Amino acid sequence: MAMTDDDLVRQLEAVPLVESPDFRKAFMEDRRSRLSGQAGLPVLHFKRPLALGLAWAAAVVIVIGVGLWRAPQPQNTAATMAQSDFSVSQSGDRIFIKTNVKGDLEWDPARLSKVQTLPDGTVVFRRRPGAAGFTEIRLRVAGGEVLKTSIRVD
Amino acid sequence: MSYSNFSSSELYLVKEEDLDRAAVERCLEGDSDAFGELIVRYQRPVFNTVLHMVGDAEDAREVCQQAFMKAFEHLASYDRDRKFFSWIYRVAVNESINWLKARRPHEELDESFEHPRANPAEEFEELEEWRHLHEAILELDPNYRAVVILRHFVHFSYDEIAEILKLAEKTVKSRLFTARSLLREALEARGHGHD
């Protein structure tokens, strides 16, 4: 016999809501890691002669830097390096890596396992159980290392 | 959760509107803990909405996480004259639809990847009694799926669904009518009928 609309509605409304993962915890961890990245700079106190010396050194670096900047740039890996970037985010035991250039990622399989590549190119890694300390993820373009980032895995 | 329990949850949402507004204000003043409060308030129904939209608990976890992060990042663009819950649901539904559009037929998985089983949502997926209904819902076009989920799983009214999906109320009713017809056909094809 055909199913009535009331039967269907009854079935639909009997479906239980499942418990949700703790998204607040993941959100707060993400906020903390972003904020600690910005706020972790040490405050240095110098005596006056040292400060003057550093100011001169900085001026020299700026002059040399401007000279190099104005010189013609070779089209090589260094140029790619200047344009390429990692975007790293973490959620629980998942680590999300997004790069803005095409290349090969290298990682330590003892600490991280690759889960999947998302449609936007983000590569998702999962921390191996028991992994501790820091691990590096490298980006290679045309065989040369372009970027690397260090990630805490515990 | 039974239907009567959910009715009290609707009441809960109405009561919480002022708290939502206050939390949004605090958040825009730089207090990100306030957004954590909003997440706690909405994570269960939003996660259930996304779960039924994308059809997989692990995908739902990622989509939901992205939706909350996106909502936080774009909180300044939220129109504070409107209800926060309708905005957060819209973000979650849109994120789910974008995920479904972008999803490749097959994701390449590392051999060592093991699907996590700790989440109760997986247990839900394994319940035989919901399996056919779940499959039939996943066969619906995401636009039809969204109205069924918002109406029958998280129990919004027609005008609330209209606000969430930015549709006319009559469009919501018409989509729901079509969606339920398609669901009935799909379930009958699986041998379900009136006893």
Beta bridge partners of A105: A139
Q: Is residue A133 in some structural domain?
A: yes
pTM: 0.57
* Lowest mean pLDDT, pick from A48-62, A88-102, B16-30, B52-66: A48-62
> If one looks up domain B3-189 in CATH, what number appears?
1.10.1740.10
Q: What's the CATH number where A119 sits?
A: 2.60.40
Extents of the domains making up chain B: 3-189
Q: Is residue A141 in some structural domain?
A: yes
Cβ within 8 Å of A, B 108-167: 108-110, 112-113, 119-121, 123-124, 130, 133, 148, 152-155
Q: What is the pLDDT of residue B174?
A: 97
| ipTM associated with this complex | 0.75
- Print the domain residue range for A108: 77-152
pLDDT for B115-131, tens place per residue?
334 444 555 544 555 77
Say which of B6, B36, B47 has its CB closest to residue A20.
B47
* Lowest mean pLDDT, pick from A140-149, B85-94, B143-152: A140-149
Closest CA to A26 of B75, B65, B88, B95: B65
Mean pLDDT of A12-34: 86
For A7, name the nearest residue in chain B, comparing CA atoms only.
B194
Question: Which of B5, B61, B192 has the highest number of chain A CBs within 10 A, making it the mutation to test binding with A?
Answer: B61
Cβ within 8 Å of B, A 75-134: 91, 94, 113-117, 119-120, 126
Write out chain A residues lying below 8 Å of B45, CB-based: 17
Write out chain B residues lying below 8 Å of A19, CB-based: 44, 119-121
CA distance A31 to B33: 9
Q: What is the pLDDT of residue A47?
A: 46
Q: What is the pLDDT of residue B114?
A: 37
Q: Is residue A135 in some structural domain?
A: yes
Residue B192 banded pLDDT, cuts 50, 70, 90: confident
Say which of A28, A94, A120 has its CB closest to residue B36.
A28
Q: Does B103 touch chain A (CB under 8 A)?
A: yes
Q: Does B192 touch chain A (CB under 8 A)?
A: yes
Using a CB cutoff of 8 Å and minimum separation of 24, what contacts does B67-76 make?
A: B67/B91, B67/B92, B67/B95, B67/B96, B68/A23, B68/A27, B68/B39, B68/B43, B69/A27, B69/A30, B70/B95, B72/A27, B72/B27, B72/B32, B72/B35, B75/B24, B75/B27, B75/B28, B75/B35, B76/B28
Number of domains in chain A: 1
Q: Is residue A47 in some structural domain?
A: no
Q: Sheet with A104-106: list strands edge to edge.
A: A104-106, A134-141, A144-152
Question: Which of B53, B107, B150 has the highest number of chain A CBs within 10 A, making it the mutation to test binding with A?
Answer: B107
Mean pLDDT of B168-178: 96
Average per-residue pLDDT for chain A = 73
Residue B36 banded pLDDT, cuts 50, 70, 90: very high
User: Residue A8 burial by CB count (10 A; 0-12/13-18/19+): exposed, middle or buried?
Assistant: buried
Q: Is the pLDDT of residue B153 over 80?
A: yes
For B36, name the nearest residue in chain A, comparing CA atoms only.
A24
Beta bridge partners of A124: A96, A116
Single-letter amino acid code for the residue at A41:
L
Structure-token pair, residue A153: 């895995």
CA distance B190 to B182: 13
Question: Which of A1, A5, A20, A90 has the highest number of chain B CBs within 10 A, making it the mutation to test binding with B?
Answer: A20
Phi and psi torsions of A113, nearest 5°: -120, 140
Q: How far is CA A4 from the centre of its chain?
A: 52
pLDDT for A123-150, tens place per residue?
888 888 788 778 888 877 776 766 777 7
Residue A51 CB neighbour total at 10 angstroms: 12
CB contact under 8 A, A7 and B194: yes
Q: What is the pLDDT of residue A102?
A: 73
